[in-house]
Amino acid sequence: MTVTRGFHGRRRDSDARLPPGQHLTPDFPVLSAGPTPLVPRDDWELIVATEDGTRHGWTWAELMALPSEDVTVDIHCVTSWSKLDTDWRGVSLDTVLADVDTAADFAMVHSHGGYTTNLPLEDLLDGRAWIAYEYDGDELAPEHGGPARLLVPHLYLWKSAKWVREIELMLDDAPGFWEQLGYHDYGDPWREQRYQGD
């Protein structure tokens, strides 16, 4: 299955695909808040924890056994670079969360290394978010979040947590690592929600 977001077009269409205040980059800059964790696939596990304490887990082999999707999306970093037509493979969060019973409205995503970021649960659903494990046809490199990262391309890229290990489902919102320190709680690039108050 191939899901393509945004406009298809030649270069002259790229301006229409750039959110306000963004510029195009041909590179894939690496932004890091700490040492790059090296997580062996044999040890890798994804946890979904619900508000009543129920924990659902997937090993790497179990994740690979789930139906995957190839997605081509534009990504937008809050530091003002955007990259168009990036190719990923991953498992939709719709698939991961299909059998998870929850009344939660929010999620806190936890990464190896201690990073966290918060999102409304609905932004992880309806074909808008993936657990991504390939980029541009290759295994996702550790500096870009491998073995697996969250991919939520309709929000600024700090929401697409690298080295994802747990999705904690919550009844109430709470701020994550950057959301505690001046960054916007939601982070919609099309509304230029970079900082609190934007």
Partner 1 sequence: MNNESAADAAFDGNVMAGPLSEVFAVDITTAQGRCRGCGTTSVIATLRVYGPDPGLVGRCPGCDDVLVRIVRTPDAVWLDLAGLTSLRVAVPAGVAGVPASSGGDA
Pairing mode, strands 130-135 and 23-24: unpaired
Cα-to-chain-centroid distance, residue 24: 20
Q: Does 114 bind partner 1 (CB under 8 A)?
A: yes
Contact 82, 22 (CB under 8 A): yes
Return the range that interacts with partner 1 (CB under 8 A); candidates 5-13, 60-68, 92-100, 110-118: 110-118
Which of residues 48, 78, 151, 161 is near partner 1 by CB under 8 A? 78
* Contact region with partner 1 (CB under 8 A), list: 67-75, 102-110, 168-176, 179-187: 179-187
Q: What is the Cα–Cα distance from 195 to 198, expressed in whole angstroms?
A: 6
Q: How far is the CB of 151 from partner 1 (least distance, A)?
A: 18
Q: How far is the CB of 60 from partner 1 (least distance, A)?
A: 16
183 is an interface residue for partner 1 by CB under 8 A: yes
Counting contacts by CB under 8 A, is residue 178 touching partner 1?
Answer: yes
Q: Alpha-carbon torsion 34, 161, 150, 153, what sign?
A: negative
Task: Report if residue 21 touches partner 1, rule: CB under 8 A.
Answer: no
Find the largest Cα–Cα distance for the chain.
50
Contact 137, 87 (CB under 8 A): yes
Touching partner 1, residues 35-74 (CB under 8 A):
35-39
Nearer to partner 1, 4 or 25 (CB): 25
